[in-house]
Amino acid sequence: MLQQKFSVRRVMDPVDEFVFTKVWKCGAPSKVCAFSWQLLLNRIQTKDNLCFVVIIPPNLASSFALLVGCGKDKRGKECLALIWNSLMWSIWKVRNDIVFNNKEVVIDDLVDQVKTQAWKWFIGRMAKSPCLLYEWKWNPIDCFQR
């Protein structure tokens, strides 16, 4: 029994493995994927985190797995992962504006920022844009599958 070789795959929870592979396999910039990865590992350096207060609910990884698991195919899952990364990045930037610049949040602006940013990352990976911004805002998964 002790002759079996150790591997991370055998130790890692299947949900965690699914989540962490999806974070990296989307069209978001690598710094955003790295941020999302650190977020899921609870490694973002915030004041609360530095004081050892849990700021991320323990079921966040499971929630992400449910989100990207609801896509019908690989492209749909990549699209949802891209949108999730855009959401996390936008929330982080808004949080920093609140903390450091005393700005107020307008939820409609945040939602629009998430949609626009995800669309920019999406078209940045394409030689030719398969959809316009208003089409992306209406149905991003359809744009991803074109």
Contact 55, 39 (CB under 8 A): no
Confidence of residue 3 (pLDDT cuts 50, 70, 90): low
Task: Indicate the DSSP class of residue 5.
Answer: P
Give the pLDDT confidence of 77-110 residue by residue, as tens digits.
Answer: 788 888 889 999 999 999 999 989 999 989 999 9
The token pair that represents 54 in the structure block = 């849990």
Task: Tell me how far apart the alpha carbons of residues 81 and 19 are, in angstroms, rounded to a whole number.
Answer: 9
Nearest to 105 by CA among 90, 121, 126: 90
Cβ atoms within 10 A of the Cβ of 117, count? Answer: 20
Give the pLDDT confidence of 5-54 residue by residue, as tens digits.
Answer: 655 555 556 656 666 777 777 778 888 888 888 777 777 666 555 444 44
Query: Which of 56-60, 114-118, 136-140 has the highest mean predicted lDDT (pLDDT)?
Result: 114-118
∠ CA(114), CA(67), CA(82), 5° rounding?
40
